[in-house]
Amino acid sequence: MVTDAGAYSVDPARFGKVAVLMGGWSAERTVSLNSGQAVLDALLRAGVDAHGIDVQRETVLSELAEGQFTRAFVVLHGPGGEDGVMQGALEVLGLPFTGSGVMASALAMDKYRSKQLLEGAGIPTPPYLVLDDDFDPDYVAATVGLPLMVKPALEGSSIGMSKVDEIEDLPAARQQAAAFKGKVLAERWIEGREYTVAILGDTPLPAICLETPHDFYDYEAKYQANDTRYLCPCGLAAKDEQRLQRLALAAFQALGAEGWGRVDIMCAQDGTPFVIELNTVPGMTDHSLVPMAAKAAGIGFDELVLRILTQTLKLEQEDTHVRAG
């Protein structure tokens, strides 16, 4: 069997029958299908009895219940898969699953709620306002400042986001973001460098610096462009990178996230870091950042996938202990 799992060893029979949940009905469906296929291929290479499920709202619960699965690898991005909905369904079905639980998934998916929580925990995040239907552009510009980012609170992959440089462009940006479910946020633009820190278990992986000719790291830069640069090593001094890693882990833990994830951070020109958002089901495509960070830490893709899935064995043991008690 050809695998890059290296020295990491786990008996694939321990996992039983694994459902790899991908697709879904969010705007990130295509990315999820690509991520899910990569995860499925890795599990099959490792000898795991894994089966891909293209999640459809009407049939997924019956497929999971009738398929006699023993656990699930969640590779669903966006609403319906990353926001606690699928996690809640899996809890009801009694299936251990990868990643964060219901509450942490819901909090991390909601940029508004997560920013409130981060602020309460003393973790720096850019100033922001909620843009209601009758918002005052002058007040927003005076309070948040220009330029700023307008973004839907409940979408990922930079979908619906836009940078606003001029006050007269605010209404159109708000309208674009309002096409998606949930609140619309105006967030202060942080001039500086963008970094991301992946978390595996309770360990931050090497930071990655993102460079793109686009205004920001948007959907095209993430998944389609060939001119996006990923710097790993990130170019920071060791103490500065460790500072970002500690901040990322603090944000991850503040939201109650578990298993694995990714924290996006902007560093202002004076070096001040700001947590932008947390992803509880990051991408696993050939453009994705978690596999890139894992590789820098000496963890190949197949091993990464096995490490994530192995965490469900511990969850299963904990659940059995609770029921027995």
pLDDT digits (tens, 9 = 90+) for 97-153: 999 999 999 999 999 999 999 999 999 999 999 999 999 999 999 999 999 999 998
Residues 59-75: what's their mean pLDDT?
95
218-251 burial, b for 16+ CB within 10 Å, e for fewer? bbebbbeeeebebebebebeeebbebbbebbbbb
Confidence class of residue 267 from pLDDT cuts 50, 70 and 90? very high
60 with 115, same domain?
A: no
pTM (whole model) above 0.75: yes
For residue 114, CA distances in Å to 72, 92, 117, 132 come to 25, 25, 5, 19
93 with 160, same domain?
A: no
Residue 170 located in a structural domain:
yes
183 with 199, same domain?
A: no
Query: What pLDDT sits at residue 320?
Result: 43
279 tagged catalytic: yes
Q: Please report, for the chain, how many H helices and E strands are present, in that order.
A: 11, 13
Confidence class of residue 215 from pLDDT cuts 50, 70 and 90? low
- In terms of residue numbers, what domain contains 200? 108-124+191-296
262 tagged catalytic: yes
Residue 23 located in a structural domain:
yes
283 tagged catalytic: yes
CA atoms of 208 and 83, how far apart (whole Å): 25
78 tagged catalytic: no
Query: What pLDDT sits at residue 220?
Result: 53
226 tagged catalytic: no
204 with 286, same domain?
A: yes
CATH number for 164: 3.30.1490.20
CA atoms of 107 and 116, how far apart (whole Å): 10
CA atoms of 276 and 194, how far apart (whole Å): 10
Find, among 245, 252, 259, 263, the residue nearest to 305 by Cα: 259
From 110, 218, 258, 277, active-site residue: 277
Residue 25 located in a structural domain:
yes
202 tagged catalytic: no
264 tagged catalytic: yes
73 has which bridge partners? Answer: 20
CA atoms of 248 and 292, how far apart (whole Å): 17
145 with 260, same domain?
A: no
Domain count, the chain: 3
Query: What pLDDT sits at residue 8?
Result: 79
Residue 325 has pLDDT above 70, yes or no: no
CATH number for 32: 3.40.50.20
Average pLDDT value over all residues in the chain = 90
pLDDT tens-digit profile of 221-263? Answer: 445 556 788 999 999 999 999 999 999 999 999 999 999 999 9
From 187, 218, 258, 264, active-site residue: 264
Residue 210 located in a structural domain:
yes
Query: What pLDDT sits at residue 234?
Result: 96
Tokens of 180: 């998606």
